[in-house]
Amino acid sequence: MHRRFRLVAIAVSLAAVSLLRAGDWPQWRGPDHDGISKETGWTDRWPDAGPKVAWKAEVGLGFSSFVVAAGRAVTLGHGDEHDMVTCLDVATGKTLWKHRYPSELGDKFFEGGTTGTPTIANGRVFALSRWGDMFCLDAATGAVVWSKNVQKETGARVPDWGFGGAPLVHGRLVVLNVGEAGLALNRETGAVVWNSAPKAAGYSTPVPVTAGAATLGVMSAGNAYVAVNLADGKPAWSVRWLTQYGVNASDPILSGDRLFVSSGYGKGAALYRVGDGTEPVQLWKSKTLRTQLNAAVLFDGHLYGVDGDTTEKASLKCIEFATGAEKWSVPGFGSGAVTIADGRLLALGGTGELSVAPATPAGFVPTSRAQVIGGKTWTVPVLANGRVLCRNSRGDVVCLDLRKS
Amino acid sequence: MNDPILPGRRRFLRQAAMAGTAFAAAPFLRAADPTRRFRTVLIGCGWWGKNILREAIASKRVQVVGLCDVDTATREVAAEQVNDLNGDRPKTYNDYRELLEKEKPEIVIIATPDHWHALQTIAAARAGAHVFVEKPTGHTVNESRAMLRAARDGGRVVQVGLHRRIGPHHVSGMKFLKSGAVGDVGMVRIFAHGGGGRERPTPNAAAPDGMDWNLWCGPAPLRPFNPRLHPGGWRNFLDYGNGTLGDWGVHWLDQVLLWSGEKYPRRVFSTGGRPIAGPAVNDATGQTTDAPDHQVAVYDFESFSCVWEHRKFAENNAEKHRIGAYFYGTKGTLHIGWQDGWTFHPSDSKAAVVHEDSQLQQPDGHNLKLLWADFLAAIEDGKPAVAGIEIAHRSSVLPLLGMISWRTGRSVAWDGEKERIVGDPEADAMLSRPYRGPWVYPT
C-alpha cells in the first residue's frame, strides 16, 4: 500500500512538472509508457454534433497509432503493396512528407495493413514493419538516416501476424520486440548491440522499468512475458503466459513490483509479484479482463480496458488492480481503446464513437460522446496538445480540436 | 445392420442408419442421467476445437480427460482453459492413437484439418466412442464413405459440425420456405464473398518449437512449414482443405439438401481460378495458397438448379449480402444468411419485406450449443442426430465433387446411388487420393 501511495505521489508531481511542457505523445502509450496523457485544460463538453473537427487526412490501411512531437504527427499505413510512413502537420493536417517501402498486405484473418506504431525521439522517427523492415528517418524531412531488415539480419521468427511492437528508444539504443526477448540496435547506426534467441516474439512494445540500478525492458514473447536488462539484453525474469496462437499482444502493465498481463481468446488476466530476485508469484488470475489487442490503462488503482475479442462485441471494463474484481462493464463497446488524461477516460469504441467520462470505479458516465469517425476503429485515440487523433482501419484520420478557446 | 458395403438403394441406407442408431443407443436406453458425465477428449485444440469444447463443458455433461494436438503450446493453452472452466485436468497427447488407447473416451471431438477427419473419426468409432467431427466429413469422397461405414459398423453416433442445420434462423427460414410464402423455388444461389487482392509468397519457416509438423501433415503431402498454412490457413491449401467451397460451401449446400429433400445432384460443373491472387507458389523459399480466388459451381438437381459462387476480391457491396443462400421462388427471393439472419424480398415491390434476426453464439457466430445438445440427445435417447454422418456425408460430397470438376475442367455426371462418377475414369479416380506412408487410405 505504501509503495503504491508513493508511486501516485510521484506521478502527481511529474504531472505538475509536465504542465510546463508541450503535451507531446512521442511514443506508443505516451510519455510514461502507460497510456496516460499529461494534458489538462482540454474540454470534455461538446455540442451534440460532436467536437470541432480540425482536419481530416488519409494515411493508408492499417491499425497503427499516432506519435506526436514538435508539431508533427506520424503514423503508418499500407496501400498499393507498399507501407507508408506519413508525417502530418498536426495543426493543419497537411502532409509534410511520406516514406514508402514495398511491403506485404499480410491480410491473414483481417484486412491487413500496418499494425505497429512508430516512435519519435531526438528528431528522428523509428519505424518497424510487420516483416522486419526498420527505418530511422529524419523527423523533419523523412530522409532515411539508416535502414535494414532486422528479421533477415537476425533470422528471428516472424510472429504469425508480423512484428507489432513499437520501437523503444532508450539511451543510445533502439529496442525492438523481435526475437524471443528483444533486439537492441545502435540508435545512430542500426548496428545490432544485443540480441535474443530467434524465436517468436509477442506483439507488445518493450516497457522500460527501473529495477535498482538497472533499467529492464518488459515485453511479450510468443509464450511468456519477459524482462531483460536493457543495457545488455540479459534476462531478469519471465512469466510463462500461453495464449492461443501466441497472441500475447497487450503491453504489460507494471506498478512497483506488480506485473499485470492480459490477453484475449478467452485467456484472461493475472497479476504477479516480480523482480525481487525470486521467481514471479501469481497473486490472482481471472477472466474479468481479456485484452486481445490494446492494453488496459492503470489509473488510481483501477484498470480500464477492453474485454473480449474482435470477433465479438467486446465490453469496456473497469477492474480493480489489486484483486481483479470487476467494477463496471459497458457491453457492446467493441474492440476500441482508451487513453486517460486529467482523470478522464477518452474512450473510442470499436466503430468510431468517442466518449469522455471520469475515470472512476463508480461507473462509466460520459460527459460527452459523439460518432467521430466511421469504419473499424481498433486503434487507440491519441491526445496531444489539445488535439485528439483518431483513425480507422481504412486509414481515414480525424483530428478533433478539444482546446478550450 | 452389419453390411459393410454401402447399400445400393437409399431405402436400405436409411434402414441401416436407423438400425445402427438403435444399436448405438441400446446401452444408454435407461433413463438419461442428467448428472452423468461422459469421458470426453478433443483432437485438434485450435480455434474451432476450443469453441466446441467450451460448449461441451458448458453442457456440464463432460469430463474432459484428454487433449490431443501436434503443437505443445496449443494443447497446453487448451488444458489451461479447460481447468479454468470446469476444474478438469486433462492429460495432453501429441498422437491421437495414444490418446484413444490410454483414455478410452466415450466421446471424441475432432477439429483437426480436413485431411485428418477420416482416419481419426474411424479410429475413434472403432475404439467405441461417439464422435463430434467438423465439416466437411472427408477431404475426398471415399474418405467420407469410409467414415460412414465405420460409424455404422461401430453403431456409434457421429455428429458433424453443420450447426446451420439447427441454428434458429435457419430453422425458421426453412419453415418459411416450406410454408409456401416464397412460392415455387426453381433456383438457388449460394455464395460467400469477401475482399482481397494479389497474394505474394510467405517465406517458409521452421515449425514452432514443440510442434510435430510431420504428424500435422500426416497422410497428406509433407510441405515445408509456413505460417500462411498454419494456424488456420490450411483451408486454402488443397493438400489439406478444399478452399472456400469446402469450408463455407458445405454449409450452404447442406441447407439446399435440407430444404429440397433431394439426396444428390445429377451433374456438377465448376470453374474458377486465381486471376487476382496470382499463380500458386510452393518452392524452397515460400508458399502461397493454391485454392481458387473465385469459383462458380453449378449443381444440377432433378427439380431445380443451384449455383455456388465465391470471390476473395471486390466484396459484394452491389448486393445486400456477402454470405448465404438466395432461394428464388415465384413469390420472391428469400435470403438466408449468417449474422444478418434471413430476409424475404417479395417479387411484389409493394409487399412488405419479411425479416428475422439471427440468434448466434458469440464470438464467431455459430450455433454449436444447440448442435452439442442434439448430439447428447442422440447418444442418450437414440434419436437421429440432426447433422448425423448419414446426412452430413451427402452434404460433404457436394463440395468435393465441385472440386473434382474444377480440377478436371469438365462437368461430372454423378451416380448418387453408387457414389461414382460416370463415364470419366480420371475424375472417378479423384474420389480417392494417394496417402503419404505409412498412413493407409481408409476403406
* Full DSSP string of B76-136: HHHHHHHHHHH----EEES-HHHHHHHH--SEEEE-S-HHHHHHHHHHHHHTT-EEEEPSS
Q: How many domains does chain B have?
A: 2
pLDDT tens digit string along B32-84? 788 899 999 999 999 999 999 999 999 999 999 999 999 999 999 999 999 99
User: CB A74: neighbour CB atoms within 10 A?
Assistant: 29
Q: How many domains does chain A have?
A: 1
Q: What is the CATH classification number for the domain harbouring A84? A: 2.130.10.10
In whole angstroms, how far apart are CA B321 and each of A22, B326, B330, B342? Answer: 49, 10, 21, 10
In the DSSP assignment, the letter for residue A167 is P
Whole-prediction pTM value? 0.87
Q: Are the beta carbons of B196 and A107 separated by less than 8 Å?
A: yes
Q: Are the beta carbons of A223 and B73 separated by less than 8 Å?
A: yes
The answer to whether B67 touches B46, Cβ cutoff 8 Å, is no
Q: Are the beta carbons of A111 and B203 separated by less than 8 Å?
A: no
- Best of B57, B362, B364, B366 to mutate (most A CBs within 10 Å, chain A): B362
User: CB A13: neighbour CB atoms within 10 A?
Assistant: 10
- Give contacts of B198 with chain A, Cβ < 8 Å: 81
pLDDT per residue of chain A (405 residues) written in tens, 0 to 9: 344 434 444 444 444 333 334 589 999 999 999 999 999 989 999 998 899 999 999 999 999 999 999 999 999 999 999 999 999 999 999 999 999 999 999 988 899 999 999 999 999 999 999 999 999 999 999 999 999 999 999 999 999 999 999 999 999 999 999 999 999 999 999 999 999 999 999 999 999 999 999 999 999 999 999 999 999 999 999 999 999 999 999 999 999 999 999 999 999 999 999 987 789 999 999 999 999 999 999 999 999 999 999 988 899 999 999 999 999 999 999 999 999 999 999 999 999 999 999 999 999 999 999 999 999 999 999 999 999 999 999 999 999 999 987
Q: Are the beta carbons of B363 and A309 separated by less than 8 Å?
A: yes
B332 assigned to some structural domain: yes
- Best of A242, A261, A265, A282 to mutate (most B CBs within 10 Å, chain B): A242
- Best of A110, A244, A248 to mutate (most B CBs within 10 Å, chain B): A244
| SS3 annotation, B335-403 | EECCCCCEEEEECCCCCCCEEECCCCECCCCECHHHHHHHHHHHHHHCCCCCCEHHHHHHHHHHHHHHH
In this structure, the answer to whether residues B119 and B257 fall within a common structural domain is no
**CA nearest to B200 within chain A:** A104
The answer to whether A253 touches A303, Cβ cutoff 8 Å, is yes
B301 assigned to some structural domain: yes
B339 assigned to some structural domain: yes
In this structure, the answer to whether residues B129 and B183 fall within a common structural domain is no
pLDDT tens digit string along B373-384? 999 999 999 999
Q: Are the beta carbons of B363 and A244 separated by less than 8 Å?
A: no
Q: Are the beta carbons of B232 and A105 separated by less than 8 Å?
A: no
Range of the domain at B128: 10-164+367-388
In this structure, the answer to whether residues B186 and B241 fall within a common structural domain is yes
Q: Strand pairing partners for B9?
A: none
Q: Are the beta carbons of B77 and A243 separated by less than 8 Å?
A: yes
Range of the domain at A162: 2-401
Q: Strand pairing partners for B108?
A: B41, B131
Q: Are the beta carbons of A311 and B363 separated by less than 8 Å?
A: yes
Strands B158-160 and B130-133: parallel
In this structure, the answer to whether residues B103 and B199 fall within a common structural domain is no
Q: Is the peptide bond before B438 cis (omega within 30 degrees of 0)?
A: yes
- Give contacts of A268 with chain B, Cβ < 8 Å: 84
Q: Are the beta carbons of A244 and B196 separated by less than 8 Å?
A: no
Q: Please, which residues have CB within 8 angstroms of residue B263's CB and are 6 or more apart in sequence?
A: B10, B257, B394, B416
Q: Could you tell me which of B97, B323, B143, B96 has the C-alpha nearest to residue B240?
A: B143
Q: Which of B203, B209, B362 sits opposite A313 (nearest CB)?
A: B362
In this structure, the answer to whether residues B286 and B213 fall within a common structural domain is yes
In this structure, the answer to whether residues B271 and B294 fall within a common structural domain is yes
B432 assigned to some structural domain: no
CA distance B430 to A185: 54
**What ipTM describes this predicted complex?**
0.80
Helix (H) or strand (E) holding A270: strand A268-273
CA distance A375 to A378: 10
In this structure, the answer to whether residues B345 and B330 fall within a common structural domain is yes
In this structure, the answer to whether residues B27 and B158 fall within a common structural domain is yes
A38-68 exposure pattern, b = at least 16 Cβ within 10 A, e = fewer: bbeebbbebeeebbeebbebebbbbbbbbbb
Q: What is the CATH classification number for the domain harbouring B52? A: 3.40.50.720
- Grid cell listed for A33: 509508457
Q: What is the CATH classification number for the domain harbouring B343? A: 3.30.360.10
In this structure, the answer to whether residues B32 and B131 fall within a common structural domain is yes
- Give contacts of A244 with chain B, Cβ < 8 Å: 46-47, 50, 74, 77
**CA nearest to B45 within chain A:** A244
- Best of B53, B67, B69, B80 to mutate (most A CBs within 10 Å, chain A): B80
* Amino acid at residue number B359: Q
- Give contacts of B74 with chain A, Cβ < 8 Å: 244
In this structure, the answer to whether residues B57 and B126 fall within a common structural domain is yes
- Give contacts of B228 with chain A, Cβ < 8 Å: 108
Helix (H) or strand (E) holding A174: strand A173-176
The answer to whether B230 touches B242, Cβ cutoff 8 Å, is no
